[in-house]
Structure 1
Amino acid sequence: MTHGPPREDVPHRKDRLMSIHSLPAGPAIRPPFHVPPSYPVGGIGKVRLISLATALPLAERDTLEPLSRRVALDQKETLYGQDEPAVSVFNVSSGALRLYRILPDGRRQVTGFAFPGDFLGLSLLDRFTVSADALGPVTACRFERLAFMDLLRGQPCLMMHLHEILGHELSRAKDMMMLLGRRTADERIATFLMGLQERYVRIGRSSVTLELPMGRLDIADHLGLTIETVSRTFSRLDRDHCILIVPGGVRLVDHDRLARMSAH
């Protein structure tokens, strides 16, 4: 978290535009930015709305497809806002989102980032505890929550797999609490990059050169550092040949050293 008075670059509840989530559900909220990947099912090519990166068996994706509606966001648009009624569940198809809370004193806490395959809104809370903003163009599947939960009651295997996904999310949150403990800035950045690498491997992206769709300020608010500390730390790790800063991301050069720095 960063300290000081609210900044102009941090959205506030009173002046945030209506989120996509608050709009009525329909066959399509907006035309998609691109057609998602397709693959053959029973010899027929079928366009999929649910991300191929989702950790669900193909048959369970097929079960969910009829309930899904496509939504698309431009950069900085809000998928759903903190404290809005949680009447939808989302599956990210493409792009990345920033998940954050605005604290009572106006500071922003970035709780995490969502990537293709991630489900959002699986908790049983009545309202969203965080906001989700697009870091660039994003497409996602939207499910009406009551219909989604009704389907789960008759699909115990699907429910079990979603519980496993939610368990991974809780584990990540626990790791984040440990990360914000007594760790140096170098260790926090190394842990962040190694964790991002693991997530990219799961969704089939490059595990050497890591795209960083989030800015230095987002990383700072996520790791409990200042933006100046984050920038200095990236520069130092680059000079020490641990990483190589490249346009749009970083390349992991000394993987073993980063792994040692990020070890709990």
Structure 2
Amino acid sequence: MTSTASLHEFCARRGDLATPCRHCGAREFNICQALDAAQQDRLFALATRLQLGKRERLFAAGDRARYVYNLTEGTVSVSRSLTDGRRQILGFLLPGDFLGLEAGESHRCDAEALTEAKVCRFERAAFDTFLQGNPEVALRLLQIASSDLAQAARHEVLLGRKTAVERIASFLVDLRDRSGARHLRTRPLVLPMTRSEIADYTGMTIETVSRVLGRLKSRKVIELVGASTVRVLDDAELERLSGSS
């Protein structure tokens, strides 16, 4: 069960009511980057803090899109079910990412926490009103959306044009670069997703994912540290294999 509390209550327990967002590790990367202190207070008043357990669903396709969400901790997968029952993972979201904005009244995909996660939830109507009075925040949201579109375009290329090795190398390079940009650990690189989820993201089978990872390991490009951690041993070679250099 998702536990909810207002940001005010959350910060009161920490004793930092004067600067409620001070301890947010994602502030540098998300929409709050554009806020001054007064704007932070106004947005703070609209937010509800959600704490998600591992594998807990934030929303499902078909749910009414009443809220938008700012991911502040953890990793969330966004996916959709295909007509034949298969799953396509559209992306893995990191702290600072924004989700839930929909063109229609309902969500078109599922969002699931791959780790314990925290989000700030905003009622859509109230958030839209806030954007109208704070154009710099709307601009920051547009920049985030533009980055998301670029990410989606790279994913299309990965699915449509790349070989199995290129797909896995691209996946690792992208996760390494995005994690590093968010000040998350990259040496070693944590993989909170399962091999099945990597397969659903790269459009391959689990067996192919495991085989390619094993090949990269034997070529000493990476080292597998358990099932959920990878140490990149040769960054230049990984980037070459991904087709990015």
- Output the TM-score relative to the length of structure 2: 0.87
Distance in 1, matches of 2:112 and 2:124, equals 20
Q: 2:34 aligns with which of 37, 46, 57?
A: 57
Distance in 2, matches of 1:70 and 1:261, equals 41
Secondary structure in structure 2 of the residue aligned to 1:181: helix
Question: Which position in structure 2 is the counterpart of 1:182?
Answer: 161
The amino acid across from 1:54 in the alignment is F
Question: In the alignment, is the contact (CA less than 8 A) between 1:85 and 1:128 conserved in 2?
Answer: yes
- State the shift of 1:27 in Å: 4.2
**In structure 2, do the counterparts of structure 1 residues 98 and 221 end up closer, same or farther at CA, with 3 Å as the change threshold?**
same
Question: Which position in structure 1 is the counterpart of 2:82?
Answer: 103
Higher helix share: 2
Distance in 2, matches of 1:65 and 1:48, equals 12
Task: Out of 145-154 and 196-205, give the one that drifted further.
Answer: 196-205
Question: In the alignment, is the contact (CA less than 8 A) between 2:55 and 2:113 conserved in 1?
Answer: yes
User: What's the CA shift string for 1:132-158, capped at 9, x where partnerless?
Assistant: 111121111100000000010111111
Task: Out of 225-234 and 94-103, give the one that drifted further.
Answer: 94-103
Secondary structure in structure 2 of the residue aligned to 1:142: strand
**In structure 2, do the counterparts of structure 1 residues 127 and 160 end up closer, same or farther at CA, with 3 Å as the change threshold?**
same
1:224 aligns with 2:210: no
Distance in 1, matches of 2:130 and 2:49, equals 19
- State the shift of 1:192 in Å: 0.4
- State the shift of 1:122 in Å: 2.7
Distance in 2, matches of 1:218 and 1:28, equals 32
Give the gaps of 5 or more residues in structure 1: 1-18
**In structure 2, do the counterparts of structure 1 residues 154 and 45 end up closer, same or farther at CA, with 3 Å as the change threshold?**
closer
Distance in 2, matches of 1:162 and 1:91, equals 11
Distance in 2, matches of 1:133 and 1:215, equals 13
Question: In the alignment, is the contact (CA less than 8 A) between 1:97 and 1:132 conserved in 2?
Answer: yes
Q: 2:143 aligns with which of 154, 157, 164?
A: 164
The amino acid across from 1:87 in the alignment is R
- State the shift of 1:61 in Å: 4.5
Question: In the alignment, is the contact (CA less than 8 A) between 1:95 and 1:137 conserved in 2?
Answer: yes
Distance in 1, matches of 2:23 and 2:70, equals 9
Question: Which position in structure 2 is the counterpart of 1:256?
Answer: 236
Distance in 2, matches of 1:173 and 1:125, equals 20
Question: Which position in structure 2 is the counterpart of 1:204?
Answer: 183
Distance in 2, matches of 1:174 and 1:106, equals 24
**In structure 2, do the counterparts of structure 1 residues 239 and 62 end up closer, same or farther at CA, with 3 Å as the change threshold?**
farther
* Number of residue-to-residue matches in the alignment: 235
User: What's the CA shift string for 1:215-259, capped at 9, x where partnerless?
Assistant: 000000000000000011111101100011113310111100111
Question: In the alignment, is the contact (CA less than 8 A) between 1:49 and 1:93 conserved in 2?
Answer: no
- State the shift of 1:104 in Å: 1.7
Distance in 2, matches of 1:224 and 1:237, equals 18
Segments ≥4 residues shifted beyond 4 Å: 26-29, 47-50, 60-63
Question: Which position in structure 2 is the counterpart of 1:78?
Answer: 57
Give the gaps of 5 or more residues in structure 2: none
Q: How does 1:19-168 map to 2 (within 5 A)?
A: 27-28=5-6, 46-48=20-22, 51-55=26-30, 56-59=33-36, 61-168=40-147
The amino acid across from 1:137 in the alignment is E
The amino acid across from 2:234 in the alignment is D
Q: 1:213 aligns with which of 165, 174, 192?
A: 192
User: What's the CA shift string for 1:185-221, capped at 9, x where partnerless?
Assistant: 1100010011001111121012332110000000000
